[in-house]
C-alpha cells in the first residue's frame, strides 16, 4: 500500500510501513502510523518477479475529520490604543492550544485604506509560540524599522507616525485539534512617535508600601512589553530572594502592582536588563541605535536593584 500521490511516480515505490495479518480469506493491514484525515491510498500488487510492474488493486480515502470551531482569539497585545511607529512585535493569545505552522500567512497588517502592508511582518519559520502554544509572537520586519538599512531605505518603515493600522488574525489558523477559529479577530492601533531611548528605571515612579502588607506600585514612563514584564520584573528581600506575591500589569502596560503574600521588610525591586518596551529598547541598549549619539551606547549591567530612598 502506498499514498495515492506516490503511485505512478516510478517502479521503485516505498510502501507504507505497517503489519499485514491473515484470518481465513481476510487480510488486514495495520499502518505503523495513523493515517492523516483527508489522505488517499492505493493498494498495489505484482507478480513474484521484481521486473513485473506494480498494479493497482484498490483505492480508498481516509475521510476528512469534522471539526467544530471552538477556539477564539482572547487578546492581541499591545493592549494600548497608540503604539510607537517603530513597534517591534505584537502577540496573539488564543483560548486553546494551537497547531504549529497554520499561523503563517494568516496574520496580516492593514493600512488605513484596508490594504495589506506588504512586507510588514518578518517571515520567521518556525513560528514563535510559547510553551503552552497559546500565545504567538509576531515580529515586524526589523530591517524596515532600523534606519539606514536597505529595507528601510527602499520600502520605509511598516508603520507611519500619525496614521493607523489594523492587525488581522485570520480564522484559518487551526487549533491543536485541527479546527479553525470561530472567527477572525482584529485590533486597530493609532501610530504615535517612535521611541529610541533605553528603558531607564531611574525615570520610574516607584511607590513603596507604608505597611508591610501594602503593595509595591511602579509607574513606568512608557508602555513596556507585557510578557517581558512578567519575566524580568520582581520584588526581592534584602538577601535577594524573590518575595512571593501577585503581580498585575495595567491594561496600558504603564502601571505594575505587586501584592505580597507575606509581610515585606525592606523590599527591593529587581529589574533584569533584558526588560524591553514596545519598540524593543531594553534597559541594556537601544534597539535602533544611532552610532553618532553617545547616549545610545549600551550598558553592561545584567540587572538592577531599586530600593526605598
pLDDT digits (tens), the chain, 309 positions: 778 777 766 667 777 888 889 888 888 888 887 777 778 888 887 777 666 777 788 888 888 777 889 999 999 999 999 999 999 999 999 999 999 999 999 999 999 999 999 999 998 778 999 999 999 999 999 999 999 999 999 999 999 999 999 999 999 999 998 899 999 999 999 999 999 999 999 999 999 988 878 999 999 999 999 999 999 999 999 999 999 999 999 999 999 999 999 888 889 999 999 999 999 999 999 999 877 777 778 888 999 999 988
One domain, residues 212 and 259 = yes
One domain, residues 56 and 84 = no
Would you say residue 66 lies in a domain? no
One domain, residues 160 and 215 = no
CA–CA distance from 261 to each of 199, 235, 245, 281 (Å)? 28, 11, 4, 32
Among residues 35, 61, 87, the one where a domain terminates is 61
Write the CATH number for 278: 2.60.40
pLDDT reported for residue 146? 94
One domain, residues 184 and 88 = yes
Among residues 141, 166, 192, the one where a domain terminates is 192
Q: b/e map of 226-237 (b: 16 or more CB within 10 Å)?
A: bbbbeebbbbee
pLDDT reported for residue 9? 62
Signed CA dihedral, 294, 296, 297, 299: sign only = positive
Would you say residue 68 lies in a domain? no
One domain, residues 294 and 244 = yes
pLDDT reported for residue 10? 64
Write the CATH number for 113: 2.60.40.1220
Q: CA-to-CA distance for 247 and 267, rounded, in angstroms?
A: 14
If you compute the radius of gyration of the chain from its CA atoms, what whole number of angstroms results?
A: 28
Would you say residue 106 lies in a domain? yes
User: How many independent structural domains does the chain possess?
Assistant: 3
Would you say residue 67 lies in a domain? no
One domain, residues 87 and 187 = yes
One domain, residues 23 and 125 = no
* Domain boundaries, position 263: 201-307
One domain, residues 251 and 179 = no
One domain, residues 163 and 217 = no
pLDDT reported for residue 275? 98
Among residues 61, 91, 107, the one where a domain terminates is 61
DSSP 63-114: PPPP------EEEEE--SSEEETT--EEEEEESS-B-TTTTTTSEEEE-TTS
pLDDT reported for residue 47? 72
pLDDT reported for residue 293? 77
This prediction has a pTM of 0.78
Q: CA-to-CA distance for 32 and 17, rounded, in angstroms?
A: 6
One domain, residues 186 and 227 = no
**C-alpha cell recorded at residue 167:** 492587525
One domain, residues 131 and 157 = yes
One domain, residues 118 and 171 = yes
pLDDT reported for residue 8? 64
Amino acid at each position: 500500500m502506498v499514498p495515492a500521490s506516490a503511485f505512478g511516480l516510478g517502479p521503485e515505490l516505498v510502501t507504507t510501513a505497517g503489519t499485514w495479518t491473515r484470518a481465513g480469506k481476510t487480510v488486514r493491514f495495520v499502518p505503523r502510523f495513523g493515517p492523516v484525515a483527508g489522505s488517499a491510498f492505493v493498494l498495489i500488487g505484482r507478480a513474484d518477479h521484481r521486473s513485473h510492474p506494480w498494479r493497482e488493486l484498490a483505492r480508498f480515502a481516509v475521510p476528512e475529520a469534522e471539526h467544530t470551531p471552538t477556539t477564539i482569539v482572547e487578546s492581541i497585545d499591545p493592549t494600548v490604543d497608540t503604539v510607537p511607529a517603530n513597534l517591534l512585535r505584537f502577540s496573539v493569545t488564543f483560548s486553546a492550544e494551537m497547531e504549529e505552522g497554520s499561523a503563517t500567512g494568516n496574520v496580516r497588517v492593514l493600512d488605513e485604506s484596508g490594504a495589506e502592508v506588504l512586507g510588514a511582518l518578518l517571515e520567521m519559520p518556525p513560528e514563535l509560540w510559547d510553551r503552552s502554544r497559546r500565545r504567538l509572537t509576531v515580529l515586524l520586519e526589523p530591517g524596515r524599522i532600523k534606519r539606514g538599512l536597505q529595507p528601510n531605505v527602499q520600502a520605509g518603515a511598516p508603520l507611519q507616525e500619525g496614521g493607523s493600522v489594523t492587525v488581522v488574525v485570520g480564522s484559518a489558523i487551526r487549533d491543536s485539534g485541527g479546527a479553525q477559529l470561530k472567527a477572525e479577530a482584529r485590533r486597530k492601533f493609532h501610530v504615535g512617535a517612535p521611541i529610541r531611548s533605553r528603558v531607564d528605571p531611574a525615570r520610574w515612579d516607584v511607590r513603596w508600601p507604608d505597611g508591610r502588607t501594602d503593595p509595591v506600585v511602579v509607574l513606568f514612563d512608557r508602555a513596556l512589553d507585557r510578557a517581558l514584564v512578567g519575566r524580568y520584573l520582581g520584588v526581592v528581600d534584602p538577601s535577594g530572594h524573590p518575595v512571593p506575591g501577585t503581580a498585575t500589569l495595567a491594561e496600558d502596560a504603564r502601571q505594575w502592582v505587586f501584592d505580597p503574600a507575606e509581610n515585606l521588610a525592606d523590599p527591593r525591586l529587581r529589574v533584569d536588563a533584558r526588560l524591553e518596551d514596545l519598540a524593543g529598547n531594553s534597559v541594556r541598549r537601544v534597539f535602533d541605535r544611532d552610532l553618532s549619539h553617545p547616549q545610545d551606547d549600551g550598558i553592561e549591567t545584567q540587572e538592577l536593584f531599586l530600593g526605598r530612598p
